Amino acid sequence: MDKFSIQGGARLEGEVSTSGSKNAALPVLAACLLTEEPVVLHRIPKVRDIGTMKKLLRHAGAELEELGNGTVRVQACAIRKPEAPYDLVKTMRASSLVLGPLAARTGRARVSLPGGCAIGARPINLHVAGLEQLGARLEQSHGYIEAKVEGRLQGTQIRFERITVTGTEDLLMAATLAEGETVLENAAREPEVTDLAELLTKMGARIEGAGTSAIRVQGVEKLHGAEHTIIADRIEAGTFLMAGAITGGDLVVRDCQPEHLEELTAKMRQAGATITEEGPGALRVRGSGRLRAVDATTAEYPGFATDLQAQYMALMTQAQGISFITETIFENRFMHVLELARMGANIRIEGSQAIVAGPSPLSGANVIASDLRASASLVLAALVADGETVVDRVYHIDRGYEKIEEKLAAAGARIKRAGSK
């Protein structure tokens, strides 16, 4: 199993570039199952979860051709197996994104139920309820959800009980091929949903309101091929901004979309970091070395992203004062706290709130990555810790960050990967 060895204390300087968004690429790849024609996607990040989604598409019968430089051509001429097997689903919960497209295209879908997860229960009941409203019959047996559709799905009005990102994406994809109009209310407004809607529109779908909480879809009989470039990964870019700030560095984060990062950059500015736009798609962060504590509460977009909470907590360990960090999306997303505490952070958890008292000098230690974003937070802490930190189980970080150690090293971090990949 790979580990990172990080020697703390180096300021990050220079430039780092952002990859395509993992969480946009996943639904966009699943959307390729909706048509028999080829879909060409650019800027697909080379991260483990994307590898899993590609396996899922191949399993279903799609052909994938890598055209180099993050471009992939997907063609699902026929769906041989409308199924997402347990072996793939257990490594990536977003596998449930194929449920809607498979049911809509073939009238059949069999998707393994995801099990528990490090950050919370993460059920898919809202995907299932929505598909039922669209007219599918769903049954659960042997750990699988099976959907059957007689004829076409039927457009309807679906109001999500709570906001779900992949749930919105799953049902949006299904609705494109339904008969008549579907309205998704209380829909997720994340940029990844909007990106998916853009691709679907290029494929011939009729969608209005993506990016708002009411999405209206006029179903069509068929979708066709298209070409699309994935948006920048706002979580990766945000992680880099915080890496620059925590090290008191001067770092330009290129190829990002600053408009997707406004909640984070506002907090970081309030905390004392200087963040400026350096031309289109680039943000420069300068850490003053004197950060102030600023509270954060996670929320659905455009609120503070839960996927940046762990990294922000690492940043706040270096800020003067007490910050209250509240997690409202997932019930167990504080797995990084104990590991940060082992490095010397002063953090107390009270229910869904972490109370961070800073600044704390951190010292290098052996720590274990428990999930994707928790791992990123440990890497940030290690960048300012005294001495060496060894982060174990970095396969978690490889699920969603493309070559993070190479990107950080190029900006001056002393980080090395050890172990065989």
Q: Is 117 noted as a catalytic residue in this protein?
A: yes
CB of 383 to ligand EPU, least distance (A): 20
- Decide: 44 and 22 in contact? Cβ < 8 Å: no
The minimum distance between CB 404 and ligand EPU, in angstroms, equals 13
CB of 152 to ligand EPU, least distance (A): 23
Residue selected from 307, 339, 398, 405 as contacting ligand EPU according to rule CB under 6 A: 307
Candidates 32, 77, 117, 256; catalytic one: 117
* Shortest distance in whole angstroms from residue 92 CB to ligand EPU: 8
How many residues line the site for ligand EPU (CB under 6 A)? 25
Rounded Cα distance, 114 and 156, in Å? 27
- 196 or 252: whose CB is closer to ligand EPU? 196
Task: Write out the two tokens for 157.
Answer: 């009005």
Q: Which is nearer to ligand EPU, 4 or 401 (CB)?
A: 401
Give the x-and-dash track for 335-374 against ligand EPU (CB under 6 A): -------------------------------------xx-
Q: Where are the beta strands (DSSP E) in 142-243?
A: 144-148, 157-159, 181-185, 206-208, 214-218, 226-229
Helix, strand or coil for residue 229? Answer: strand
Tell me the two tokens of residue 376.
């990123």
Closer CB to ligand EPU, 148 or 162, in the complex: 162
List Cα–Cα distances, 394 to 93, 260, 368, 391, in angstroms. Answer: 18, 27, 8, 7
Closest approach of ligand EPU to the CB of residue 196, in Å: 10
Distances (CA, A) of 317 to 96, 256, 313, 355, 357: 36, 26, 6, 10, 7
Q: Which of 198, 400, 407, 417 binds ligand EPU (CB under 6 A)?
A: 400
Over the window 2 to 41, marking each residue x when it contacts ligand EPU by CB under 6 A and - when it does not, the resulting string is ---------------------x--x---------------
Q: Which member of 4, 240, 304, 330 binds ligand EPU (CB under 6 A)?
A: 330
Residues 108-167 that bind ligand EPU (CB under 6 A): 120-127, 162, 164-167
Q: Which of 52, 106, 247, 306 is in the footprint of ligand EPU by CB under 6 A?
A: 306
208 beta partners: 216
Pick the closer one to ligand EPU by CB: 105 or 127.
Answer: 127
Does 396 help bind ligand EPU (rule: CB under 6 A)?
Answer: no
- Shortest distance, position 307 Cβ to ligand EPU, whole Å: 5
> Taking a C-beta distance cutoff of 8 angstroms, is the pair 413, 240 a contact?
no
Taking the least distance from each CB to ligand EPU, the nearer of 46 and 162 is 162
Asked if 329 interacts with ligand EPU (CB under 6 A), we say yes
- Residue 234: count other Cβ atoms within 10 Å of its Cβ: 27
Minimum distance from residue 47 beta carbon to ligand EPU (Å): 10
- 247-286 positions binding ligand EPU, by CB under 6 A: none
Identify which of residues 125 and 274 has a Cβ nearer to ligand EPU in the complex.
125
Q: Residue 162 burial by CB count (10 A; 0-12/13-18/19+): exposed, middle or buried?
A: exposed
Helix 191-202 and helix 165-176, axial crossing angle in degrees, nearest 10: 10
Which residues, in sequence order, are CB contacts of 33 under 8 Å at separation 6+? 57, 60, 62, 76, 79, 98, 101, 102, 105
Other beta carbons within 10 angstroms of residue 87's beta carbon come to 11
Site for ligand EPU in 180-239 (CB under 6 A): 192
Tell whether the torsion through CA atoms of 330, 403, 280 and 73 is positive or negative: negative
Which of 234, 284 has the CB closer to ligand EPU? 234
Sheet with 274-277, strands from edge to edge, namely 13-17, 250-254, 283-286, 274-277
Q: Report, in Å, the least distance between residue 89 CB and ligand EPU.
A: 12
Dmax (CA) for the chain in angstroms is 64
| Alpha carbon distance 364, 7 (integer Å) | 8
Per the CB < 8 A criterion, the answer to whether 232 and 1 are in contact is no
Site for ligand EPU in 32-91 (CB under 6 A): none
Active site residues: 117
Q: Which residues bind ligand EPU (CB under 6 A)?
A: 23, 26, 93-94, 120-127, 162, 164-167, 192, 306-307, 329-330, 372-373, 400
